[in-house]
Amino acid sequence: MSNYLGSKSYLAMKPETTAGTAVKPTAFCPLVSESIKTILGLAPDRRMKGLDWKSDDLLAGDRKHEGDIVIYADGDNLGHLLNMTYLKGTTTGDETGYTHPFTVGSPDSYTIEIQKGPYAQRYFGVKADQLKVEFVDQKMQVTASVKAMGQFSVSALKEALSGAVTSLKLSSAYDMKPNSGLAVGDVSGNGRQWGWSRGYINFCQCRRRNSRIFFNNSNWSNWKQSLLESADSKLHRNC
């Protein structure tokens, strides 16, 4: 019989105020499985240059982030899945009971997070286009087919850090806007501190501009020597 680590299997989610602008998820539900993949859409460079038997370069194309998430549903989290699939009307009722009507239309977009070992994979601008509800071992299980506008998990520094640091600049080699997907209040760290005894950055008042992240944290000057000192060091979202 398989062993299940329930504390390691969660899906975090929250509706976005502005579609495609990430927020910190606050609702959590048991995650059974997920198959969301990032399809890079790379295409070979076929210009007349270089070797005649291979392509030297790959051209970036449109990326896709899509797949299925499977959760154990209840009266609370099922409403979030409906909200990212259908257009929600006006809620009526009181504390004794509420009615949430759903109809065909553009649903709310969500930010969701899935734990991947020591870091969290965040997808933003998430909407579902299909729901399947079934009962498995007497538990309601819902499968949602979702698509996202973007993702953030790990990014590299573009510039080395030195002196009094008040911002980070991320590499745009993979993404022209590498800070997309971060939100105020995010806590991040570097990949070399797997013990998690140090090496955290709390973007408590971050402002995103181009590929740079600004923050206001009085402890940062004490951490800069143990964190991301060199260019190409990796920064990731903590769980």
Q: Judge whether 36 lies within some domain.
A: yes
The answer to whether residues 57 and 124 belong to one domain is: yes
Give yes or no: residues 19 and 132 share one domain: yes
Give every residue of the chain whose pLDDT is below 50, as ranges: 1, 4-5, 191-208, 215-230
Predicted confidence at residue 173, as pLDDT, reads 78
Please report which helix (H) or strand (E) contains residue 220, including its range.
helix 220-223
Please give the tally of structural domains in the chain.
2
What does 163-218 look like in DSSP terms, one character per residue?
Answer: SS--EEEB--SS-SSTTTT--TT-EEEETT-TT-SS-EEE-TT-EEETTEEE---T
Residue 104 and residue 44 in one domain: yes
Residue 136 lies inside a defined structural domain of this protein: yes
Same domain for 36 and 118? yes
Task: Based on the fold, state whether residues 162 and 226 are members of the same structural domain.
Answer: yes
Co-location of 145 and 36 in the same domain? yes
Please indicate, yes or no, whether residues 161 and 190 belong to a single structural domain of this protein: yes
161 and 132 in one domain? no
- Name the domain boundary from 136, 151, 166: 151
- Whether 1 is covered by a domain: the verdict is no
What's the domain range around 219? Answer: 154-239
Q: Is residue 108 part of a domain?
A: yes
- To the question of pTM greater than 0.85 for the whole model, the response is no
Instruction: Assess whether 66 and 94 both reside in one domain.
Output: yes
Residue 200 in domain = yes
Q: What's the distance, Cα to Cα, between the start and end of the chain in Å?
A: 28
Q: Report pLDDT for 150.
A: 93
Residues 30 and 119 in one domain: yes
Same-domain check for residues 102 and 40: yes
pLDDT of residue 109: 97
Q: Is residue 224, in this structure, part of any structural domain at all? A: yes
What CATH number is associated with residue 97? Answer: 2.30.110
What CA–CA distance (Å, rounded) separates 85 from 17?
Answer: 16
54 and 122 both lie in a single domain? yes
**Single residue among 118, 151, 184 that ends a domain in this structure:** 151
Predicted pLDDT of residue 217: 45
Domain presence at residue 115 = yes
Instruction: Give whole-number Cα distances, 28 to 56, 69, 78, 108, in Å.
Output: 45, 13, 11, 17
